[in-house]
Amino acid sequence: MKLSSIRSEYDGESIESLPADPHVGAELWLEHALKVEAEATAFSLATTGADGRLSVRVVLAKEITSAGVTFYTNGHSLKGLQLDKQPVAAGVFFWPKQHRQIRFEGAVTRTTAAEADEYFASRPHASRVASAVSNQSAPLAHYHELKTRFEKALAEYAGLPVPRPPHWGGYIVAFERVEFWQGQPNRLHQRLHYDLQSDGSYKRTWLEP
Ligand SMILES: Cc1cc2nc3c(=O)[nH]c(=O)nc-3n(C[C@H](O)[C@H](O)[C@H](O)COP(=O)(O)O)c2cc1C
């Protein structure tokens, strides 16, 4: 399949007025993305294995704070195991309707158990049951095995609270390096890079597109 003739034109408002704090800028962009994009909170998350190989997958951001971007997952999954050994990650939000991306890299920490409990409890009952029965990223002989496990657990938990599995929880990717990218006409895209300094402030640098 040849794709070389496919071309999109990009444009957007100038990003020169982005704030000094990239967390605030990311919140502003996310607020806007939520109004116009499908799955605005989805971002690609890259982690590394002990052998130095990269893995990437999409997860959903559940919060942006001054600590970074929070997502939730099963700690026994590939990403969970990788993050146990190498607690660093890179992420990228892509918002195609606005011709924007935000990429970020940093250390990964865990939310508290209380925060994970609170978010887990806010999820729909069936999602909680699914998280409780799924051994995320483990081999599965037949898909129907999972369905059967799920249906059985649904019946068992009918009308009952579903406890959060202890290995299921929140992860926060810190904003140590962040870049806002805004598509512009003629491929003269804008790239504003933020580098976390030891005093907690960010050094900002424009990068060539
Ligand atoms: C739109 C979308 C949202 C997703 N959100 C999550 C999520 O928030 N948490 C999660 O663990 N997996 C999520 N997934 C599934 C992951 O992409 C991935 O398949 C799963 O986490 C296993 O990844 P791993 O084997 O690398 O650990 C999502 C997938 C898509 C396409």
Domain ranges, ordered by start, for the chain:
22-123+165-207
Substitution candidate for ligand 1 out of 54, 60, 63, 74 with most atoms within 8 A of CB: 60
Listed as ranges, residues in the chain with pLDDT below 70 are none
pLDDT in tens, 33-70: 999 999 999 999 999 999 999 999 999 999 999 999 99
Neighbouring C-beta atoms of residue 171, cutoff 10 Å: 24
**How are beta strands 100-110 and 168-173 bridged, if at all?**
antiparallel
**Matching CATH number, 22-123+165-207, of 2.60.40.10, 3.40.190.10, 2.30.110.10, 3.40.605.10:** 2.30.110.10
pLDDT of res. 155: 96
Q: What is the pLDDT of residue 153?
A: 97
- Is the pTM value of this prediction over 0.85? yes
- For ligand 1, say whether the CB of 184 is within 6 Å of any of its atoms: no
